[in-house]
Structure 1
Amino acid sequence: MTASSSFFHRLSSRALFALPALLIVLHVVSTTALAQQTTPVIGARVSLEPWSDPLEALGTLRADESVTLSATVTDTVVEVNFRDGQVVEAGRLLVRLQDDEQQAQLRAAQAQRDERRATVNRLAQLQTRNLAPRADVEDAQARLRQVEADIQGLEARLADYRILAPFGGVMGFRNVSVGALVSPGTELVTLDKLDIMKLDFTLPELALGQVAPGLPLTAVSGAFPDTTFAGEIATIGARVDPVSRSVTVRAALENSDHRLRPGMLMRVVVERAPRETLVMPESALIPQGQRQFVLVLDESDQYRVERRQVVIGARRKGEVEVLEGLEAGELVVAHGTERVRDGQSTRLLGIIDDDTSIPELLSRGRDAAEANG
């Protein structure tokens, strides 16, 4: 064997040994290039969620119970037993008027009752021994009943000198002081029961068939824009306004912390036709004339795309109701629909949910691409 043929033989042997390594390198390079060429997309799960058709209105709050306390007799205030804004229980004494004269009359009537009761007892004992006529006993009993009726009348009049809380609630500003002379109709203080609030609002006549007592709603006040108050319809008005063609609706809102106050304006959203339905991001829709399509990702086949027609229902902010064409748990393209076609494999950057948005996933994808050079 010549020197030249020996050289080529050694070279061929080395090439044969290096060929598998070269093939591995080429495979890695081609796989990397293919991955880089695969279109990146962001997916979203089709989920079963609560849904309703919102109906918006403006309403005004009222206290569950509200009263302006006033005097029913003319006399002087001798006791004020509350503070502005104080929470009081039902039956608490709030204001007492001068009642010394009425108390004296009551004591006199009670003494007379005791005297006539003793007379009735004495005559009854005599009558049992046939020592007193029956008519005298009956007359004494009638006089006793009369004085007892007088006592009841005095006690009722005395109640007018004590103003009690008719229900538990929050006191308003007091408009009277000790020593003031008040007369019937004089406004002393307001009392509001705020644990439950009444929310009155109007709806169009056409909505009558879509609302009913017990229907849930939410309300937001300008005073607390970040807080949503939940409630439900309590009563629907019995009449429709013939001018505005609207009906008044009253809802009940929980207000245990007393943040809501009577007279506040509330923006109301009535949750009509509550139901469980399939929901997906509105960005996944591909409109084509009167029809709607989505791109479904096959998770078992390199996220291959399947173009599928769907039937949609109502929409809300960023989401759409799916009536036909999809099942719960399926993965659809929520971002990147314009860059992929039916049957094409894709590269999934991530899945959006309540804690992850499309901008966050796009940012992660850019960071990963820069890190890989």
Structure 2
Amino acid sequence: MHPTSLAWRLHRLLVVVLVLGATVLVPTAAGATADAGGRHHAAQVAGWTPVPGPAQARSRPATVVYGGDLHLFVRGAGGSVRTNRYSSTTEAWSGWTTVPGAAGATSAPIATVYGGDLRVFVRAGAGTLRFNRYNLVTGEWSGWSTVPGSAGAASAPAVAVYGGDLRVFVRGVAGDLRTSRYTLVGDVWSGWSTVPGSAGARSAPAAAVYGGDLHLFARGAAGAVRTTRYTLTTDEWSGWTAVPGRAGATSAPAVTVHGGDLHLFARGAAGAVRTTRYTLTTQEWSGWSAVPGRLGAASGPAAVGYGGDLRLFVRGPQHRIYQHLVGPQSAQQG
């Protein structure tokens, strides 16, 4: 065989090998890849880790700890509610499934634990609120029901358990915040009423119990985050004020208690996530700072303490949900 002919054949063989190797992983949009079978895999982005599996998220996430596991919820296609569960014991996710029944969700979900059950709430058609209840012992969902009364909800709900009751909050059509209270003893709802004062809410609310009070938050004008506080012993609201500093919020806030402090989060400009922290002993806010990593969050955040870590979740590219572990030094001032 002529040497030139042999070299040509070797060159062609090398080209074929390189082409086949390049098709094993084909780049796709927004930081994901697809293998030879077309299965999409989300990539880690600067400290943000994708929750495994196709979330098909159409909303910001919600998260709660129940039965020793971390439960994650999102609104899916067709008004469904989808869920995934993480165990710190096995360090594994259960995989995404759909909560049974016709949720008819038109908002992000919210979840809490009350009366031994995990309870999920969503806004549905005509400004109503619907909820479903999961029991760990039976492993079954109760089915979707409607919160009684005229909620007039113009946002996703927020929930908190305080003073032995489950309290639900929504933004009304005029930027006010409306609330109803459920008491397990008697199985009765209080009916809807308006939180006092001028909330000026431009987003869904967020709620948490801290220092013996119920703290309520909402995004206000010019990207500010506004707050009011309810004290059970006096049965009074403190009045609406702005959380200090430049929040730059473009989403509803998220709030949780972890490590003795109240942690507040919101999506900022360019999909960044911003945070500030309130300490009861000093009665001071830490100041707003940016959570590291340029994921480009497509939703507001959700936050929860689990397994000793403060965990932050957002919807990212490709309708996936991403997680970030927030450490004491993980925020950037600005």
Q: In which range does the TM-score fall when normalised by the shorter chain?
A: under 0.3
Instruction: Give the TM-score of the pair, scaled to structure 2.
Output: 0.24
* Greater helix content: 1
Instruction: Give the TM-score of the pair, scaled to structure 1.
Output: 0.22
